[in-house]
Amino acid sequence: MEEKLQASKELYAGMTYDFNLKCPVAIASSHGGVDIETLAKEHPRDIVRKPIDPFRSFKPYMGRAMAAEIGLQGILSIQYANVMNSLWRIFEQHDAELVETNPLAIVGDRLIALDAKLNLDDKSLFRQSTLLNNIEPMPPPRSEGVESRRSRAKEMGIPTYMEMEGNIGAIADGAGTGMLTLDLVVDSGGKIGVYCEMGGETTAELMENTMKAVLSVERTHVILINLIGGLNRMDEMARGITNYLKKHPTKVPVVVRMSGTMEEDGRRILGTEGIQAYGNLYEAVERAVHLSR
């Protein structure tokens, strides 16, 4: 239980890494309580950003300057600068990708962090054992059904199986292909319900099993398959898709983007089941998102 506080105003303070500038950046705002992404879209002028030279670090005067830019004065300005200094120290010492307090509330003449977030860089966790040992692990909030489907997918040879909240089933033959697919679906306004990655070298049987895993989730309204024929042959992938559909006819539409080795043969095989294979990933994603609605 937490003490209920009456805030006169909510602020934002954070440290993150800007991949465009290739350096850390401090972020301050006079608006708090909402996601910083939403804030950037709705109130871009109310956000103050300060790039940080990692060799010179974040200096106290920078925090005071940012406090002044968001309208703070006096003791509140000093407190805000202290908060920013603390966030930088955490960000730097713990290999963080994001450290933020949101909202940072003004309660009387005090600043109080009502909520906070810390995202660590997974690649640096080996340096953070002291911190991680003090964090009590939380059980994942997943149902028994999800875990059983995940275990079954592993038994069928599917390396990556993830369930989310949407209604699009996404299948990719590699990590890069998969991440690109997920990003484009979100950018197009769609939501992934289940995501399967088959790995760099796959077979018709694995493709068939992956179709089975995705369609075992009832909320799957459309399947989006993104395949690049490097190590994989597109005719084999097409056979896996058509083999599943012959054994398990479904009304769920299947959208395929196919490119690379044996691509023409793969398209011909899919055509026998009435499936159009897109060459353009953007068109395939737009079609899948349209069908999901």
CATH number, domain of 281, equals 3.40.50.261
Catalytic, out of 2, 3, 10, 12: 12
Active-site annotation holds for 201: no
Question: Distance from CA of residue 1 to its chain's centroid?
Answer: 30
Active-site annotation holds for 61: no
Structural domain boundaries, residue 117: 9-133
Give per-residue burial for 68-86: e unless 16+ CB within 10 Å, then b: eebebeeebbbbbbebbbb
Q: Are residues 155 and 124 part of one domain?
A: no
Query: How many structural domains compose the chain?
Result: 2
Q: Are 270 and 256 in contact (CB under 8 A)?
A: yes
pTM exceeds cut of 0.85: no
Catalytic, out of 100, 163, 197, 208: 100
Last residue of a domain, one of 74, 105, 133: 133
User: Per residue of the chain (293 residues), what is the pLDDT tens digit?
Assistant: 778 888 999 999 999 999 899 999 999 999 888 777 777 888 788 899 999 998 999 999 999 999 999 999 999 999 999 999 999 999 999 999 999 999 999 999 999 999 999 998 888 888 888 887 877 765 555 455 888 888 889 888 998 999 998 999 999 988 888 999 999 999 999 999 999 999 767 899 999 999 999 999 989 999 999 998 777 899 999 999 999 999 999 999 999 999 988 999 999 999 998 998 999 999 999 999 999 99
Q: Are residues 52 and 122 part of one domain?
A: yes
